[in-house]
Structure 1
Amino acid sequence: MNRSGSYQIHRSDYRFGSFAGGIAITLILAVAAKYMALLPVLGMMGQLVLAILLGIGLRAVAGVPEQTMAGVRFSGKRLLRAGIILLGMRLNLGDIVQAGPKVLAIAAINLVFTLFTVYGLARWLKMERRLGLLTACGTAICGAATVAAIAPQIKATDNETAVGAATVAILGTIFTLVYTILYPYMGLSASGYGIFTGATLHEVAHVIAAAIPAGQQGSDLAILVKLTRVAMLVPVALILGLIEGRRERKLHSRMKLSNGAEDDCAAGTEGNREGKKLPVPWFIAGFLLMSGINTLGVIPQQLASDMITLAYLLLAMAMAGLGLGIDLKTFSSMGRKPVIAGFIGSVFMSLLGIGLVHWLGLS
């Protein structure tokens, strides 16, 4: 483990038996999470969060053999990126364009408002900056999958990634239950309720579960609005990459400045070189590419569906890998403030969402 708390994978770790064993553990946990997610209440949490919790639980109860950790880390790093790329097959950019400007507006306004609100609350609560960003992005965009995609951009540790993902998913489960109970009293049509849930709930699984009372029409609109938010993962990731790169260059320049003018000049040259690099991680570019392929319809629908299933399996294996690297003491010490910030931000997002639905005449 390096100083940031993230594991590094070395060539010496790749002993086939132990390496394959580590991957097998994450696969077993991911499959178990998938079937657990079919149960009524657990289904609201979703496969990804259940995989994290299973990993944390297994480590706490039985421990994880050290020789298998190379495979576990491989799942948490490499398979994560592969899963994010394949997840792009869920997105049809044409459907989002056809949804109309009002639907795009409500998704964008809610997303931007929630990002700034949750991050502001996180900083007010004196949370670590990276964990605050993960909580804000996960709440605003698409839960655990977003946390996993953003984490490499801001160089978050495994602990921060797991805590952020679990936090937004647990909050989403709570709000899903609340929405379902309050639906008859909201005064919204089926379509209005579907737009509201898609614009304000955290995970795709939450949106699907909460939209069931609104029937087919409400469910279809809910998923469409939710996927519009998912599409916004790409620009958010790029912007965060630019901000993080600029921040690192400033810190680097300050360190060089303290060592003298000559080093400062060298730092400026290096900073200029770094500044020419566009922070587009290959897996985010891959996500966008797969979305484009799905939009063009060049892949049969059944194959696209199978690729999405595989994407969630790989992401669940990655989440299980992260969970297996988390100590419960670390999780409990880091988890309280993100829950507070995420909860308050989610309440504000819900209030804004229902207000926008009425204001834009979508109720």
Structure 2
Amino acid sequence: MWLRGILVAALAAASAWGVHTVAPAVPLLTMAVVLGIVVGQLPAARPALAGALAAGLSVAAKPLMQLGIVLLGLKLSLVDIAALGWVTIATTVAIVLLTFVGTLGLGRWFGLPGHQPLLIATGFSICGASAIGAMSGVVKAKDEETATPIALVTLCGTLAIAVLPLLWHPLGLSALQFGHWVGAGVHDVGQVVATAQIAGSSALAVALVVKLTRVLMLAPIVAVASIVERHRPADAALMATAGSPDARKGLAKRPPIVPLFVAGFIVAMLVRTLIPLPEPVLVAAEVVQTGLLAMALFALGTAVNLVTLMRTGGRPLAVGLLSWVLIAALALGAVHLS
């Protein structure tokens, strides 16, 4: 039943890969999200998206997303991160935490509904749409709650590709400082590559290591969110009828303290750090990981309804743009401290 949706997501991922191959400046994962958003707006496609393809797209958006995040851990070596120095590591962690808390506060101040503040904060502070997908799975966010943050982080990440290079020389940054700024302030890994590569290979290398240090924060932040979710006030209603079958069922559905895919991400990171894996294995893992995330982000993109998004007014867009400015400003400050 789910095979058709999986195949559609795979074809979409292959199409995004093709666009990226022809135009390397277009990040593959960003293209996958945009493709999903475009398909989601087609009146002819909506019945299939909500019907025959729904089960497969749900598998792509959740289990395949989580598997891709586990494989993302193979990109992280604690040795490379340690080589940045403690000042860079400390400022990078501080940027993630301050952006997360600041964006969460902005989302609540603007009155965004449900889990949207949490999801926007996760995406903008850590690693874009992939982080939003990971967090939404832990807090059991509805598709409509996930769609708006995905659209916002895609929009702002795409703006970063165009805007940050224009500010490189006016801000008086060296190539390496520009790479540091991009790695600390741009959302998605693909967007980081597209933005930093114009400053050369050394700037790109710095940007990627700084960016992957931010990705490392995905595990603890999602784990903390999982713990908080287990103790939500909603559980009080269940406790009032603790002996009932419904109460036991509700308690059983609480997320684990450390989600399985987060544990897998940590294990993959430790494997990369401790075991000298052959280059072909790492290349193959990256291809699979990118393909899985592209499929997942296409599936998540199809849930974006631009008409509904426009009806929500400017509040989500305001939160997204303010968060984008916040992380860019914090990252620029960190560049000058390092």
Normalization by structure 1: what TM-score?
0.83
The residue type paired with residue 38 of structure 2 is G
- Equivalent in the alignment of 1:9: none
Task: Report deviation, 1:334.
Answer: 4.9
- Equivalent in the alignment of 1:49: 30
The residue type paired with residue 4 of structure 2 is G
Which stretches of structure 1, 4 residues or more, deviate above 6 A after TM superposition?
264-267
In the comparison of the two structures, how many residue pairs are matched?
332
Mapped pair 1:353 → 2:317: no
Shift of the 353–292 alpha-carbon distance from structure 1 to 2, 3 Å rule, reads: same
Residues 197-208 of structure 1 mapped to structure 2, 5 A cutoff:
197-208=182-193
Mapped pair 1:295 → 2:277: no
Question: What is the alpha-carbon distance in structure 2 between the residues aligned to residue 89 and residue 133 of structure 1?
Answer: 26
Could you say what the CA RMSD is over the residues aligned between the two structures, in angstroms? 2.7
Residues 312-331 of structure 1 mapped to structure 2, 5 A cutoff:
312-331=290-309
- The farther-off stretch of 52-61 and 91-100 is 52-61
Question: What is the alpha-carbon distance in structure 1 between the residues aligned to residue 286 and residue 117 of structure 2?
Answer: 29
Task: Report deviation, 1:140.
Answer: 0.5
The residue type paired with residue 184 of structure 1 is H
CA contact (8 A) 2:177 2:335 kept: yes
Query: Deviation per CA, 1:6-65, whole angstroms, max 9, x where unpaired?
Result: xxxxxxxx3xxxx3222111111111112223455861xx32332233223224323153
Question: What is the alpha-carbon distance in structure 1 between the residues aligned to residue 315 and residue 293 of structure 2?
Answer: 25
Question: What is the alpha-carbon distance in structure 2 between the residues aligned to residue 288 and residue 23 of structure 1?
Answer: 27
CA contact (8 A) 1:26 1:321 kept: yes
CA contact (8 A) 1:106 1:199 kept: no
- Equivalent in the alignment of 1:25: 8
Shift of the 219–42 alpha-carbon distance from structure 1 to 2, 3 Å rule, reads: closer
Question: What is the alpha-carbon distance in structure 2 between the residues aligned to residue 34 and residue 339 of structure 1?
Answer: 28
Question: What is the alpha-carbon distance in structure 1 between the residues aligned to residue 54 and residue 83 of structure 2?
Answer: 46
Task: Report deviation, 1:265.
Answer: 9.0
Residues 1-363 of structure 1 mapped to structure 2, 5 A cutoff:
14=1, 19-38=2-21, 40=23, 43=26, 46-61=27-42, 62-63=44-45, 64-65=47-48, 66-247=51-232, 250-254=233-237, 256-257=239-240, 263=241, 278-334=256-312, 336-358=314-336, 360=337, 362=338
Query: Deviation per CA, 1:327-350, whole angstroms, max 9, x where unpaired?
Result: 443343458433211211221222
Gaps spanning 5+ residues in structure 1: where?
1-13, 258-262
Normalization by structure 2: what TM-score?
0.89
Percent identity of paired positions between Structure 1 and Structure 2: 32
Shift of the 154–189 alpha-carbon distance from structure 1 to 2, 3 Å rule, reads: same
Gaps spanning 5+ residues in structure 2: where?
none
Task: Report deviation, 1:123.
Answer: 0.8
**Larger Rg: 1 or 2?**
1
Question: What is the alpha-carbon distance in structure 1 between the residues aligned to residue 10 and residue 243 of structure 2?
Answer: 50
Question: What is the alpha-carbon distance in structure 1 between the residues aligned to residue 324 and residue 22 of structure 2?
Answer: 25
The residue type paired with residue 153 of structure 2 is V
The residue type paired with residue 56 of structure 1 is I
Question: What is the alpha-carbon distance in structure 2 between the residues aligned to residue 115 and residue 277 of structure 1?
Answer: 21
Task: Report deviation, 1:310.
Answer: 1.0
The residue type paired with residue 335 of structure 2 is V
Question: What is the alpha-carbon distance in structure 2 between the residues aligned to residue 317 and residue 147 of structure 1?
Answer: 15
The residue type paired with residue 92 of structure 2 is A
